Amino acid sequence: MILEFLQKLANYHAPLRPPGAIPEDEFLNQCIRCRKCEEACPYDSIVMAHGDRGLKVGTPFIYARREPCYLCMKCTEVCPTGALQLLKREEKRKVRMGTAKINQTTCLAYNGIICRACYERCPIYREAITLQNEIYPVVHQEHCVGCGICENVCPNEPASIIVYSSHG
Protein backbone atom coordinates (compact mmCIF):
# COMPACT_ATOMS: atom_id res chain seq x y z
CA MET A 1 0.00 0.00 0.00
CA ILE A 2 2.82 2.35 0.91
CA LEU A 3 4.58 1.43 -2.30
CA GLU A 4 1.43 2.23 -4.22
CA PHE A 5 1.18 5.56 -2.48
CA LEU A 6 4.81 6.41 -3.22
CA GLN A 7 4.32 5.41 -6.82
CA LYS A 8 1.34 7.72 -7.03
CA LEU A 9 3.41 10.48 -5.47
CA ALA A 10 6.24 9.94 -7.93
CA ASN A 11 3.86 9.96 -10.87
CA TYR A 12 2.05 13.05 -9.62
CA HIS A 13 1.45 15.80 -12.13
CA ALA A 14 -0.73 18.86 -11.71
CA PRO A 15 -4.28 18.45 -13.03
CA LEU A 16 -5.37 20.57 -15.97
CA ARG A 17 -7.22 23.85 -15.90
CA PRO A 18 -10.30 24.26 -18.13
CA PRO A 19 -9.78 25.83 -21.58
CA GLY A 20 -9.21 29.58 -21.73
CA ALA A 21 -7.71 29.75 -18.24
CA ILE A 22 -5.42 32.75 -17.69
CA PRO A 23 -1.94 32.23 -16.09
CA GLU A 24 -2.09 30.48 -12.74
CA ASP A 25 -1.21 33.31 -10.32
CA GLU A 26 -3.75 35.61 -11.97
CA PHE A 27 -6.24 32.78 -12.17
CA LEU A 28 -6.20 32.20 -8.42
CA ASN A 29 -7.04 35.87 -7.83
CA GLN A 30 -9.59 36.21 -10.59
CA CYS A 31 -11.53 32.99 -10.07
CA ILE A 32 -14.28 33.54 -7.50
CA ARG A 33 -15.02 29.81 -7.08
CA CYS A 34 -18.63 30.13 -8.20
CA ARG A 35 -18.77 26.64 -9.76
CA LYS A 36 -20.60 27.76 -12.88
CA CYS A 37 -17.99 26.11 -15.10
CA GLU A 38 -18.50 22.83 -13.30
CA GLU A 39 -22.26 23.12 -13.62
CA ALA A 40 -22.03 24.10 -17.28
CA CYS A 41 -19.76 21.21 -18.26
CA PRO A 42 -21.89 18.67 -20.14
CA TYR A 43 -19.26 15.93 -19.80
CA ASP A 44 -18.78 16.26 -16.05
CA SER A 45 -15.09 16.85 -16.74
CA ILE A 46 -14.57 19.81 -14.43
CA VAL A 47 -14.14 19.06 -10.76
CA MET A 48 -13.62 21.67 -8.06
CA ALA A 49 -10.55 21.38 -5.83
CA HIS A 50 -11.12 20.70 -2.17
CA GLY A 51 -9.43 22.12 0.91
CA ASP A 52 -6.54 19.67 0.60
CA ARG A 53 -5.21 21.78 -2.25
CA GLY A 54 -4.70 24.74 0.02
CA LEU A 55 -5.50 28.11 -1.48
CA LYS A 56 -6.58 26.48 -4.73
CA VAL A 57 -9.69 25.33 -2.90
CA GLY A 58 -12.80 25.69 -5.01
CA THR A 59 -10.99 26.28 -8.31
CA PRO A 60 -11.82 24.14 -11.32
CA PHE A 61 -9.60 21.23 -12.35
CA ILE A 62 -9.77 18.59 -15.05
CA TYR A 63 -8.38 15.16 -14.24
CA ALA A 64 -7.70 13.86 -17.72
CA ARG A 65 -7.55 10.21 -16.71
CA ARG A 66 -10.96 10.52 -15.08
CA GLU A 67 -12.66 12.62 -17.77
CA PRO A 68 -10.84 14.81 -20.29
CA CYS A 69 -11.92 18.10 -21.84
CA TYR A 70 -13.78 17.76 -25.14
CA LEU A 71 -13.30 21.46 -25.95
CA CYS A 72 -17.00 22.41 -26.14
CA MET A 73 -16.06 25.77 -24.49
CA LYS A 74 -19.31 25.95 -22.54
CA CYS A 75 -17.37 26.75 -19.36
CA THR A 76 -15.73 29.80 -20.93
CA GLU A 77 -19.16 31.22 -21.78
CA VAL A 78 -20.39 31.23 -18.19
CA CYS A 79 -17.29 32.46 -16.33
CA PRO A 80 -18.36 35.78 -14.76
CA THR A 81 -14.91 37.25 -14.08
CA GLY A 82 -12.91 36.28 -17.13
CA ALA A 83 -10.71 33.79 -15.29
CA LEU A 84 -11.66 31.59 -18.21
CA GLN A 85 -11.37 33.73 -21.30
CA LEU A 86 -14.26 33.44 -23.73
CA LEU A 87 -13.48 31.09 -26.60
CA LYS A 88 -15.61 29.84 -29.47
CA ARG A 89 -15.83 26.18 -30.31
CA GLU A 90 -14.14 26.89 -33.66
CA GLU A 91 -11.15 28.35 -31.82
CA LYS A 92 -10.13 25.12 -30.16
CA ARG A 93 -6.65 25.38 -31.67
CA LYS A 94 -6.00 28.45 -29.49
CA VAL A 95 -6.43 26.46 -26.29
CA ARG A 96 -3.25 25.74 -24.31
CA MET A 97 -4.19 23.67 -21.32
CA GLY A 98 -0.96 21.72 -21.34
CA THR A 99 1.15 19.54 -23.55
CA ALA A 100 1.17 15.79 -23.97
CA LYS A 101 4.33 13.76 -23.57
CA ILE A 102 4.75 10.14 -24.60
CA ASN A 103 6.63 7.76 -22.35
CA GLN A 104 8.37 5.69 -25.02
CA THR A 105 9.54 2.97 -22.62
CA THR A 106 5.97 1.93 -21.80
CA CYS A 107 4.03 3.06 -24.89
CA LEU A 108 2.60 0.00 -26.63
CA ALA A 109 3.38 1.30 -30.12
CA TYR A 110 7.05 1.68 -29.23
CA ASN A 111 7.07 -1.84 -27.77
CA GLY A 112 5.96 -3.82 -30.77
CA ILE A 113 2.18 -3.66 -30.33
CA ILE A 114 0.07 -1.78 -32.83
CA CYS A 115 -1.88 0.91 -30.94
CA ARG A 116 -3.36 4.07 -32.36
CA ALA A 117 -5.63 5.05 -29.48
CA CYS A 118 -4.18 8.51 -28.85
CA TYR A 119 -3.57 9.24 -32.52
CA GLU A 120 -7.10 8.43 -33.53
CA ARG A 121 -8.87 10.27 -30.76
CA CYS A 122 -6.82 13.48 -30.84
CA PRO A 123 -9.17 16.44 -31.57
CA ILE A 124 -6.42 18.24 -33.50
CA TYR A 125 -6.47 15.28 -35.78
CA ARG A 126 -3.25 14.35 -37.60
CA GLU A 127 -1.61 17.56 -36.46
CA ALA A 128 -0.97 17.35 -32.73
CA ILE A 129 -0.23 13.63 -32.84
CA THR A 130 1.12 12.06 -36.00
CA LEU A 131 2.34 8.56 -36.71
CA GLN A 132 5.95 8.19 -37.62
CA ASN A 133 6.39 5.38 -40.13
CA GLU A 134 2.69 4.79 -39.56
CA ILE A 135 3.53 3.07 -36.28
CA TYR A 136 5.07 5.39 -33.69
CA PRO A 137 2.91 8.25 -32.32
CA VAL A 138 4.71 11.59 -32.03
CA VAL A 139 3.36 14.67 -30.24
CA HIS A 140 3.81 18.05 -31.91
CA GLN A 141 3.81 20.50 -29.05
CA GLU A 142 3.06 23.55 -31.20
CA HIS A 143 -0.31 22.02 -32.10
CA CYS A 144 -1.16 20.20 -28.86
CA VAL A 145 -3.99 21.91 -26.91
CA GLY A 146 -3.65 19.70 -23.84
CA CYS A 147 -7.24 18.50 -23.69
CA GLY A 148 -6.21 15.19 -22.16
CA ILE A 149 -8.21 12.91 -24.45
CA CYS A 150 -5.06 10.97 -25.37
CA GLU A 151 -4.25 10.39 -21.72
CA ASN A 152 -7.82 9.30 -21.11
CA VAL A 153 -7.93 6.73 -23.90
CA CYS A 154 -4.43 5.29 -23.42
CA PRO A 155 -4.92 1.55 -22.75
CA ASN A 156 -1.86 1.37 -20.50
CA GLU A 157 -2.09 1.73 -16.74
CA PRO A 158 -0.64 4.17 -15.80
CA ALA A 159 -1.09 6.02 -19.06
CA SER A 160 1.91 6.14 -21.38
CA ILE A 161 0.91 9.52 -22.71
CA ILE A 162 0.45 12.16 -20.04
CA VAL A 163 -0.67 15.76 -20.45
CA TYR A 164 1.42 18.09 -18.31
CA SER A 165 -0.53 21.15 -17.28
CA SER A 166 0.79 24.51 -18.44
CA HIS A 167 -0.56 25.90 -15.15
CA GLY A 168 1.96 24.34 -12.79
Partner 1 sequence: MTRFEEYFYKHLHLLRRISQWAAVALIFLIPFLNRHGYHELMGTFYSIRIGHLDLMDPALMFQTILLTKHIPFSALLAGTLPLILALVLGKVFCSWVCPYNLLAEYVAKLRKLVFPQKKYFLNHNPKPQWYWIVFGLVVTTLMVLGIPLITLTSFPGLISSEAADLVLNGTIGIEILLVLIVILLEFFVAPHFWCKYACPVGATLALFRYKHTMRVHFDPKGCTCDSVKSLPCNVICPLGLDPRHDGIYPYCYNCGECIYSCHQHHGKSLSFSFKAAPKKAAVSNGMNIKMNRPIKEVNA
Residue closer to partner 1 (CB basis): 25 or 127: 25
* Subset of 78-107 contacting partner 1 (CB under 8 A): 78, 80-82
Residue closer to partner 1 (CB basis): 51 or 112: 51
Query: Is position 65 an interface residue for partner 1 (rule: CB under 8 A)?
Result: no
Residue closer to partner 1 (CB basis): 82 or 155: 82
User: In angstroms, what is the minimal distance from the CB of 54 to partner 1?
Assistant: 10
| Distance between CA atoms of residues 160 and 118, nearest Å | 10
Q: Which of 47, 87, 131, 153 binds partner 1 (CB under 8 A)?
A: 47
Q: Which of 1, 9, 55, 114 binds partner 1 (CB under 8 A)?
A: 55
Stretch of 42-50, 104-112, 122-130, 151-159 contacting partner 1, by CB under 8 A: 42-50
Yes or no: say if 137 and 130 are a contact pair by the CB < 8 Å rule: yes
User: In angstroms, what is the minimal distance from the CB of 80 to partner 1?
Assistant: 5
Rg over CA atoms, the chain: 16
| Distance between CA atoms of residues 51 and 41, nearest Å | 22
| Distance between CA atoms of residues 59 and 55, nearest Å | 9
User: In angstroms, what is the minimal distance from the CB of 70 to partner 1?
Assistant: 16
Stretch of 50-58, 100-108, 136-144, 148-156 contacting partner 1, by CB under 8 A: 50-58
Residue closer to partner 1 (CB basis): 54 or 112: 54
DSSP E strand boundaries for the chain: 46-48, 60-62, 98-102, 129-132, 136-139, 161-165
Yes or no: say if 122 and 129 are a contact pair by the CB < 8 Å rule: yes
Q: Please name the residues in contact with 100: beta carbons below 8 A apart, sequence gap of 6 or more.
A: 118, 128, 129, 139, 144, 146, 150, 151, 161, 162, 163, 164
Single out the residue of 101, 84, 79, 76 nearest to residue 160, CA to CA.
101
Footprint of partner 1 (CB under 8 A): 26, 28-36, 38-40, 47-48, 50-52, 55, 57-58, 78, 80-82
